Amino acid sequence: MMFFLVIFSLYTNMNALKVYQELNDISLTQSSNIMSCSILPKIDYYYLSQSQPNVNYQMKIRESHYAVDIFVDFYLIDEYINKPINILLDNILIDQYSVENDHSVPFCNILPSQISTYFKTYTHYQQELNLGFQLENTNSFTLGIRNIQIIPKQCHKSCSQCIGPEKNQCKSCNLGAQLSKMTNECKCPSITPYLSLQQNQCLKKCDSNEYFDKVLEMCIYDDKIEQMQFYFWNTYDFTGWSMMENGKASPLDSKQYMNMNGKGVGQFFVSQSINYKFNNVYNYQLLRIRADIYIFKSQQQPEIYVQVDKIKKLVSPLHYYNETELNGYLLYHIDYTIDALSISNITIIVISNQNLQWGINQIIINTINCQANCNSCLTKLICGVCKIGYYLYKGKCVTICPNYSTLEGLVCKDITEQYQLTTYLLRAFYDNLIINFMVQNTKSITTFYQNQFGTYYNGVRYFGGLKDNSNQYFFKQFNNLPPHYNIILQLNVITFEFTKLLPKGKQKPQPNIVSIFIDNYQTKNIQSMNDQIQLLNIEHKHSFNNLTLAMISVPIVNTYFSFGISNINIMIQRCYPLCRSCIGPNQNDCTEWIIEQNSQNQTCNIGYIFDMEQQKCLLCPIGCQKCSDQVTCLKCEDSFIQQGSSCYCLNGYIDEFTFDCIVNPINPL
């Protein structure tokens, strides 16, 4: 019978919490129930047998969850067919596992042996989790246990308990939030409307190191904050602050008063504004201004403006409170972000009726970096130099170099950077989390054997491996590829080969091979090297829109043969921007150009930038004549004002068709 395996695009559970139970864990190091195989001594496991037929593992899951995925590698030794293994969760028998068919491979000792991965999803809410295994029949049966992985299915962030992952599946809420009987959603009350994930409770406003995400409707930790400065909180230092009235500046020293929320600064009349000069030492950063503004002697909705240098904008408050007691007032909380200059002149203005008086306190001014832990930005999105203790990786700052990259000085160089105009199509099987090996069929095949869990061996989980003792077929297809001229295939391959007991006089069979095919072309044969890792780097000329990769092995008679792969990296070398067909990466290597409405003469029109992924010219930020990406402007149109790396239309409006800044609109008769 022919069996098949399918390579797939890596599936990752972003909410997964990994809980590994390895042999180097403290709970196992003192145990005598650890065994290594004699044939492949790199395989070791904790074992259950007649002398010790059960074991329990106690774990803690801190995140709120409604179920857990349980994965365990079982090593079945000797007479294991139809012998049940009891699985207990929190001391309750939840399942029995056994194998009915013999797919043994002689990898451990002279006894029949088979590797199998157990997987089930169970309902579970508690933080404490007790997982137990028990043998019912220990006669001539040894069970090895390795790599217990518990992956909780987490609740929505607004729930403290739930029955599912959505925000309307809450059973209870975080501190201060209330459960709606109508929607089953957790909502913060109007007096404390902001749910903070950091503090796990409802607040009157987000903490100073958080921002309010309007999509998620909660406060999110901001790891890009720099130069945070507080004004008019518990201390009142007026250095750098002034009051502006009729173009004249005066000090704020005497402008203090008491209100129901403590000491404030004011009270100002409608004709008065306050001003501060903020020094920003970094380029390509945003300026963020937050404050509490108090409105007295008026119930009319005020207009709150924040002017930073030339740019004056009407700010919509995040929230406001109406205090109607003896010293009643309206309290508005503002949170405003704008491009920063090296020295930013900040003015806060409040406009309403002539009776208005206003005050202010709890001001926070900070910059927002292009990336967390960046020391110098190249654009609004890309870091050029990281802070001490961090390494630069593709415009971001990291503490360790990711997979598929190497450290050169203070920069983690991705493999794609070793080649010109190169991007990857697939990276997979580079960690030991079993859920990353879950696959789905990408092609209908008559007979199909799906090893979806991989094989753990010598610290690495391989796709395929010892679990497969018959024909193997790995298959992956890519469609609608961008213009390219070359394919690069990199991966690690490990092979396992065992000779069956041969009849007398029978010669030892020839070594087995693994064949690699690219678009039905046999590109390479890999010779069997038992228990050895082979590092492959294959380059193949390719320019078609679709790509098919396959790896096939058919064991020679009287042998057990299988192979596994890890650290697969499939890359393409792309054509020059706006090139449809090419023989190399340079402009003069192009044999056919893309013709589209936003380009001419093999370049994008003014105000557009080429996007490599979408293979077309995309519009720069509105009002921008030249940009480095879709958010960072280098030069604005003449009718716009440039501040930092953004363009602003002042004293006019932006035409909805041309996107021009119309300063003096013509009113129709």
DSSP structure string for 446-483: SS-----S-EEETTEEEEESTT--S-EEEEEEE-SPPS
What's the pLDDT tens digit per position in 412-461? 999 999 999 999 998 888 888 877 776 433 333 333 344 678 888 888 88
Paired sense of beta strands 547-553 and 513-518, if any: antiparallel
- Span 78-103, mean pLDDT? 92
pLDDT at residue 667, as a whole number: 53
Residue 515 has pLDDT above 50, yes or no: yes
pLDDT at 11: 31
The pLDDT > 70 percentage for the chain reads 89
pLDDT digits (tens, 9 = 90+) for 357-392: 899 999 999 999 999 999 999 999 999 999 999 999
The structural architecture, per CATH, of the domain 603-662 is Ribbon (2.10)
Residue 24 pLDDT: 53
Place of tokens 């959505």: 166
Average pLDDT over residues 632-649: 94
User: What residue type is assigned to position 308 of the chain?
Assistant: V
pLDDT for 98: 93
Q: What is the mean pLDDT of residues 251-260?
A: 72
Q: Transcribe 482-516 into DSSP letters.
A: PSEEEEEEEEEEEEEEEEPPPPTTPPPPPPPEEEE
Question: How many of the other CB atoms lie within 10 Å of CB of 19?
Answer: 18
Q: Which one-letter DSSP state was computed for residue 415?
A: G
CA 371 to each of CA 216, 392, 397: distance values in angstroms, whole numbers, following the listed order? 21, 11, 7
Q: What percent of the chain shows pLDDT beyond 90? A: 52
- Residue 20: predicted pLDDT: 43
26 membership: H or E segment, kind and range: helix 26-29
Q: What is the pLDDT of residue 571?
A: 96
Residue in 184, 77, 64, 187 with CA at minimum distance from that of residue 135? 77
> Thinking of the domain 227-368, which architecture would CATH place it in?
Sandwich (2.60)
Q: Which run of H or of E encompasses 22?
A: none
Whether the CB-CB separation of 56 and 89 falls below 8 Å is answered with no
The reply to whether 603-662 shares the fold of 425-574 is no
In angstroms, rounded to a whole number, what is the distance separating the alpha carbons of residues 225 and 207? 12
Q: How is the chain split into domains, by residue range?
A: 20-154, 227-368, 374-418, 425-574, 603-662
**Domain with residues 20-154, CATH architecture:** Sandwich (2.60)
For the structural domain made of 374-418, what CATH number should be given? Answer: 2.10.220.10
pLDDT of residue 504: 60
Backbone phi and psi for residue 75, each to the nearest 5 degrees, phi listed first = -110, 115
> Ranked by mean pLDDT, which of 169-183, 322-336, 554-568 comes out on top?
169-183
Q: What is the third-level CATH fold of 425-574?
A: Jelly Rolls (2.60.120)
- Which pLDDT does position 354 carry in this prediction? 84
- Tens digits of per-residue pLDDT, 276-299? 999 877 778 899 999 999 888 777
What are the beta bridge partners of residue 71?
119, 149
Read off the tokens for 213.
Answer: 């995400």
> What SS3 class is residue 364?
strand
Give per-residue pLDDT as tens, 112-148.
899 989 999 999 999 999 999 999 998 999 999 988 8
Q: What is the CA radius of gyration of the chain?
A: 33
| Count of other CB atoms within 10 angstroms of residue 409 | 8
Is the Cβ–Cβ distance between 208 and 364 less than 8 Å?
Answer: yes
Reading the block at residue 77, the tokens are: 């030794």
Pick the closest to residue 34 from 139, 138, 24 (CA basis). Answer: 24
Neighbours of 55 (CB within 10 A): 19
Mean pLDDT of the chain: 86
Per-residue pLDDT at 258 exceeds 60: yes
8 has a pLDDT exceeding 60: no
Q: How far apart are CA 316 and CA 606, in angstroms?
A: 34
* Digit-coded pLDDT (tens) for 190-235: 888 999 988 889 998 999 999 999 888 899 999 999 999 999 987 7
User: What's the pLDDT score for residue 280?
Assistant: 79
Do β-strands 128-135 and 54-60 pair in parallel, antiparallel, or remain unpaired? antiparallel
* Amino acid 405: pLDDT: 95
CA neighbor of 376 nearest in space, from 408, 410, 401: 410
Strand-strand pairing, 113-123 and 533-541: unpaired
Give the Cα-Cα-Cα angle 145, 118, 114 (nearest 5 degrees): 65
